[in-house]
Amino acid sequence: MTALKTLFLSPPSYAGFDGGAGSRYQAKREIRSFWYPTWLAQVAALVPGSRLVDAPARGLELPDVLPLASEYELAVLHTSTPSFPHDVRVAEAFKAANPRLRIGFVGAHVAVSPEPSLRASNAIEFVARNEFDFTIREVSEGRPLEAVDGLSFRSGDRIVHNRERATLEDMDRLPFVSEVYARDLVVEDYFIGYLLHPYVSLYTGRGCRSRCTFCLWPQTVGGHRYRTRSVAHVAAEIRFAKRAFPQVREYFFDDDTFTDDLPRAEGIARELSRIGVTWSCNAKANVPFETLKVLRDNGLRLLLVGYETGSQQILNNIRKGTRVDVARRFTEDCHRLGITIHGTFIVGLPGETRETIRETISFAREVNPHTLQVSLAAPYPGTELYQQAQANGWLATDAALVADDGVQIAALSYPHLSHGEIFDALEEFYRKFYFRPRKIAEMALEMATSATMLRRRLREGVEFARFLRSREERA
Ligand code: SF4
């Protein structure tokens, strides 16, 4: 077997599109934001001599990356449902530029629909289903495709589906993604509005114990067991990253729910404190005070919290497994401890009414996370929400998740609540949360005490105003 010279590509996409890479929810955001292409970096770390190119974050268009087609023998593209048509066009352009190039796709979209994905274009030779790290490594080693578990591939006119790949249990087998970041990426390219800049994000484990009906990754590539790297392995990577990126101001652990295993979260926090870094992570709104205090005392700055809604009925409908009263107490605890919260909410989930939208906005104003993000319910293929939407006729026939420019759209509607009302609720939510004296005063104070935050919030303000204007034009 001869190893193939391999390119990992997060393909060029809509301008400013944070998707097809490490983003859970691929859309052009209200404010410029880019997640790291962590999944692709993970497999790149397993393939010696490979290169990772993250085109959206670098601002690269197709003509910029096309010359790479002739430099490689294998190209692996990370795709997503919203970006798939774009990504196919990129694959076809690469294949036209170098007919000998072998091209494969990875990501939840192809894991859910391997056959339609392969039939979408002859340029795609194979797709790797579900957790694809070692699947792609074996392909890059030059193994015959029929001998690679977890792969679906084209064989003449037929599509062949190999048996499933065993779930990865020993997560310490995964090499450090930060080594690939250091080799191939520019950390300053990555922005998230609520994280210090520059930041680095990575995973310490995969899978989420919760079963939220709308959430894509645990229902596809991650699963519902929280499989974790050892504390020592995580600490060793952060030590490496601290040396490699002295300019980085914050580390973000993008595990689905970093707080799913509280003793381990506390163990990692204590190690991070010894290393001396500021960090943040995803959390559910039910972490007990004692754990929050340990995390805060050991460098935790911010929690990204998926509240989703202020309606208990909707929380039950989506199987979130949280309670509004517990979320309230958790948020008060965070405020008392000085832990910053970025809250995420979704409008248009099953059970949504005009009344529950009002209830959720009022809940958000009351608990008052430092910043928030509002998304429109997006039924990704592969989720229970998608099945419900199809069974109940909630989905428009041309079921796109983003508009032509990559901005999120209201894909769902209900007999009592139209697309338009859900779409309008997003803007109303932002306005009612941010345009009130208490919030304006908080933001003004933040800007007055930090020149960096002043520059950043002004830029975000301009982008947000542009976003509101574009919605008005679209309406
Ligand atoms: S808790 Fe978060 S990551 Fe886990 S299934 Fe629910 S939305 Fe997804």
- Atom 3 of ligand 1, nearest CA residue: 256
Classify 442 as helix, strand or coil. Answer: helix
How far does residue 256's CA lie from ligand 1's centre (Å)? Answer: 6
For residue 320, give the ligand 1 atom closest to its CA: 6
How far does residue 345's CA lie from ligand 1's centre (Å)? Answer: 12
**Which of 257-266, 271-280, 318-327, 437-446 has the least mean pLDDT?**
437-446
Q: How many CB atoms lie within 10 A of CB 323?
A: 15
At which residue do the structure tokens 């990754």 appear? 217
How far does residue 262's CA lie from ligand 1's centre (Å)? Answer: 16
How far does residue 319's CA lie from ligand 1's centre (Å)? Answer: 10
Q: How far apart, in whole angstroms, are the C-alpha atoms of residue 194 and residue 171?
A: 29
Over residues 421-447, the pLDDT tens digits come to 999 999 999 999 999 988 888 888 887
Pocket mutation for ligand 1, best pick of 212, 259, 314, 315 (most atoms within 8 Å of C-beta): 212
- Assign 384 a pLDDT band (cuts: 50, 70, 90): very high
Question: Do residues 217 and 25 make contact, with C-beta atoms less than 8 angstroms apart?
Answer: no
- Assign 55 a pLDDT band (cuts: 50, 70, 90): very high
Closest CA to 64 of 73, 55, 76: 55
Alpha helices in 371-449 (DSSP H): 384-392, 419-434, 437-449
Ligand 1 close to Cβ of residue 218 (< 6 A): yes
Amino acid at 314: I
- Assign 14 a pLDDT band (cuts: 50, 70, 90): confident
- Assign 401 a pLDDT band (cuts: 50, 70, 90): confident
Ligand 1 close to Cβ of residue 212 (< 6 A): yes
Q: How many CB atoms lie within 10 A of CB 265?
A: 25
Closest CA to 147 of 130, 126, 131: 126
Ligand 1 close to Cβ of residue 26 (< 6 A): no
How far does residue 207's CA lie from ligand 1's centre (Å)? Answer: 9
Which 8-state DSSP code applies to residue 369? -
Ligand 1 close to Cβ of residue 257 (< 6 A): yes
At which residue do the structure tokens 């709308």 appear? 214
Alpha helices in 123-215 (DSSP H): 133-140, 177-184
Q: Report the share of the chain in percent with pLDDT over 70.
A: 90
Question: Do residues 318 and 308 make contact, with C-beta atoms less than 8 angstroms apart?
Answer: yes
For residue 308, give the ligand 1 atom closest to its CA: 7
Pocket mutation for ligand 1, best pick of 213, 221, 256 (most atoms within 8 Å of C-beta): 256
Q: How far apart, in whole angstroms, are the C-alpha atoms of residue 36 and residue 50?
A: 17
- Atom 6 of ligand 1, nearest CA residue: 212
Sheet with 74-78, edge to edge strand ranges = 51-54, 6-10, 74-78, 102-106, 126-128, 151-155, 158-161
Closest CA to 330 of 266, 363, 298, 287: 287
For residue 256, give the ligand 1 atom closest to its CA: 3
**pLDDT the model gives residue 22:** 61
Ligand 1 close to Cβ of residue 306 (< 6 A): yes
How far does residue 474's CA lie from ligand 1's centre (Å)? Answer: 31
Over residues 290-337, the pLDDT tens digits come to 999 999 999 999 999 999 999 999 999 999 999 999 999 999 999 999
Q: How far apart, in whole angstroms, are the C-alpha atoms of residue 419 and residue 260?
A: 34
**pLDDT the model gives residue 291:** 98
How far does residue 181's CA lie from ligand 1's centre (Å)? Answer: 26
- Assign 461 a pLDDT band (cuts: 50, 70, 90): low
Ligand 1 close to Cβ of residue 456 (< 6 A): no
Ligand 1 close to Cβ of residue 210 (< 6 A): yes
Q: How far apart, in whole angstroms, are the C-alpha atoms of residue 207 and residue 260?
A: 10
pLDDT value at 407 more than 90: no
Give Cβ neighbours of residue 419 (< 8 Å, ≥ 6 apart). Answer: 396, 409, 410, 411, 412, 413
How far does residue 1's CA lie from ligand 1's centre (Å)? Answer: 41
Which H helix or E strand runs over 155?
Answer: strand 151-155
Question: Do residues 20 and 56 make contact, with C-beta atoms less than 8 angstroms apart?
Answer: yes
**pLDDT the model gives residue 13:** 81
Amino acid at 131: E
**pLDDT the model gives residue 353:** 97
In whole angstroms, how large is the CA radius of gyration of the chain? 22
How far does residue 188's CA lie from ligand 1's centre (Å)? Answer: 28
- Atom 2 of ligand 1, nearest CA residue: 256
pTM here is: 0.93
Amino acid at 284: K
pLDDT value at 179 more than 70: yes
Report in angstroms the alpha-carbon separations of 110 from 26, 42, 76, 246: 15, 18, 12, 37
CB-facing half-sphere around the CA of 304: CA atoms within 13 A: 20
**pLDDT the model gives residue 460:** 66
Q: What are phi and psi of 224, to 5 degrees?
A: -105, 15
Pocket mutation for ligand 1, best pick of 203, 206, 210, 224 (most atoms within 8 Å of C-beta): 210
**pLDDT the model gives residue 154:** 95
